[in-house]
């Protein structure tokens, strides 16, 4: 794209000019131009003084098909990626130089307009797992990968990667059908040279939506009805996400809250005190009462200096 945009903006270029602009060798520039021509792109060489490579018929059309607004949108997306990926930064620099002059100023401004910080307040920014790069290569090159996952070795056909709240997942084909793997549970991976077939109509975003829907359904087997002051509703909804649905509005808002178990709901609501009143079911109210009794037992004796030994913490639930 950068070479085509450069030719569009200048009309005729030499391999040496492309090499200088794209920061590659002259031989690489020639190979790229010849590859474009062999692929059917209307570029052709002109020999002699003042020669070089030009678009067929001296065309001045923007072959990328980009409008000014589309170029701006493209660079708004590329800008944040360039901040963390050296390859993206180099590609961005080349594309900016190759854009028509009327697009260039806004594109450069758009590239520096947005910074994405995925870490929540109080959290450290997580680094991209090394295995993601390896699996990404397998996805792009359509090669099967040999994974050691949960102590078992298996060969899969990688379809795509998903970054969900800084946890990476691989959607892949297996002999048993499509499966989803958490990358942080992959202890070893190797890209093979065996071709990987990807279903013709496979759509990564749609496939991930199905995974999320199924997972959220498994996480919503227990439902509680509660009321909360209207001013606290935005915080509660942010806390529970899609697992908080409004039943009725008013000064006090009635909501349904879902989680895998009654204890999970109680634990998430215990810190809210009397700001959230659980109407039912009784199992959730009972779990809240148990938690309150445990806290009273643990902290209600401090005046007498009687501190019981802390209980053994429950096993940590796996994060999906």
55: tokens are: 């678009």
Q: Which helix (H) or strand (E) holds 86?
A: helix 86-98
- Three-class SS state of 188: strand
Task: Please tell me the predicted confidence (pLDDT) of residue 309.
Answer: 57
Most confidently modeled range among 7-11, 53-57, 242-246: 242-246
Higher pLDDT, 215 or 65: 215
Using alpha carbons, select from 47, 34, 39, 118 the residue that is nearest to residue 84. 118
42: tokens are: 């209307």
Torsion angle, CA of 36/39/40/42, rounded to 10 degrees?
0
Distance CA 290, CA 131 (A): 43
Task: Please tell me the predicted confidence (pLDDT) of residue 59.
Answer: 46
Higher pLDDT, 256 or 117: 256
- Tens of pLDDT, residue by residue over 162-173, are 988 778 999 999
**DSSP state for residue 6 in the 8-state scheme:** H
Q: Which helix (H) or strand (E) holds 177?
A: strand 177-182
Q: What b/e sequence results for 268-290 when a residue is b if at least 16 CB atoms lie within 10 Å of its CB, and e otherwise?
A: bbeebeeebebeeeeebbebbee
- Tens of pLDDT, residue by residue over 45-97, are 777 666 788 776 544 444 455 666 776 777 777 777 666 666 777 777 777 77
Task: Please tell me the predicted confidence (pLDDT) of residue 305.
Answer: 56
- pLDDT of 307 > 60? The answer is no
Among 91-95, 175-179, 205-209, 215-219, the least confident range? 91-95
124, 166 Cβ separation under 8 angstroms: no
Q: Is the dihedral of CA 108, 110, 111, 112 positive or negative?
A: positive
149, 181 Cβ separation under 8 angstroms: yes
Task: Please tell me the predicted confidence (pLDDT) of residue 290.
Answer: 93
Confidence of residue 121 (pLDDT cuts 50, 70, 90): confident
126: tokens are: 């997580």
Go through the domains of the chain in sequence order and give each one's CATH number.
2-58 (1.10.10.10), 68-111 (no CATH), 130-212 (2.30.30), 219-304 (3.30.70)
Confidence of residue 14 (pLDDT cuts 50, 70, 90): confident
Distance CA 171, CA 85 (A): 23
Task: Please tell me the predicted confidence (pLDDT) of residue 250.
Answer: 85
Among 13-22, 147-156, 192-201, 230-239, the least confident range? 13-22
Average pLDDT, the chain: 81
Q: pTM of the predicted model, to two decimals? A: 0.59
Distance CA 216, CA 210 (A): 10
């Amino acid at each position: 794209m950068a070479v085509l945009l450069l030719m569009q903006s200048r009309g005729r270029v030499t391999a040496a000019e492309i090499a200088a602009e794209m920061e590659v060798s002259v031989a690489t520039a020639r190979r790229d131009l010849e590859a474009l021509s062999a692929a059917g792109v209307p570029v052709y060489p002109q020999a002699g003084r003042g020669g070089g490579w030009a678009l067929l018929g001296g065309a001045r059309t923007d072959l990328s098909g980009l409008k000014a607004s589309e170029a701006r949108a493209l660079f708004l997306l590329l800008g944040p990626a360039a901040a963390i990926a050296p390859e993206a930064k180099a590609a961005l620099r080349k594309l900016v130089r190759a854009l028509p002059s009327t697009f260039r100023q806004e594109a450069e401004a758009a590239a520096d307009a947005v910074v994405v910080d995925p870490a929540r307040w109080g959290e450290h920014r997580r680094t991209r797992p090394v295995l993601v790069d390896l699996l990404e290569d397998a996805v792009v090159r359509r090669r099967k990968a040999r994974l050691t996952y949960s102590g078992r070795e298996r060969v899969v056909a990688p379809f795509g990667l998903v970054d969900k709240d800084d946890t990476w997942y691989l959607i892949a084909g297996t002999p048993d059908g499509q499966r989803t793997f958490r990358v942080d549970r992959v202890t070893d991976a190797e890209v093979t040279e065996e071709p990987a077939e990807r279903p013709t109509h496979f759509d990564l975003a749609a496939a991930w939506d199905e995974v999320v829907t199924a997972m959220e359904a498994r996480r919503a087997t227990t439902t509680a009805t509660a009321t909360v002051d209207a001013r606290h509703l935005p915080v509660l909804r942010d806390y529970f996400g899609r697992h908080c649905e409004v039943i009725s509005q008013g000064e006090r808002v009635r909501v349904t809250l879902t989680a895998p178990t009654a204890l999970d709901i109680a634990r998430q609501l215990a810190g809210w005190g009397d700001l959230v009143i659980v109407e039912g079911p009784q199992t959730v109210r009972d779990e809240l009462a148990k938690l309150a009794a445990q806290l009273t037992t643990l902290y209600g004796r401090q005046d007498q200096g009687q501190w019981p030994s802390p209980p053994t913490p429950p096993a940590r639930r796996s994060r999906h």
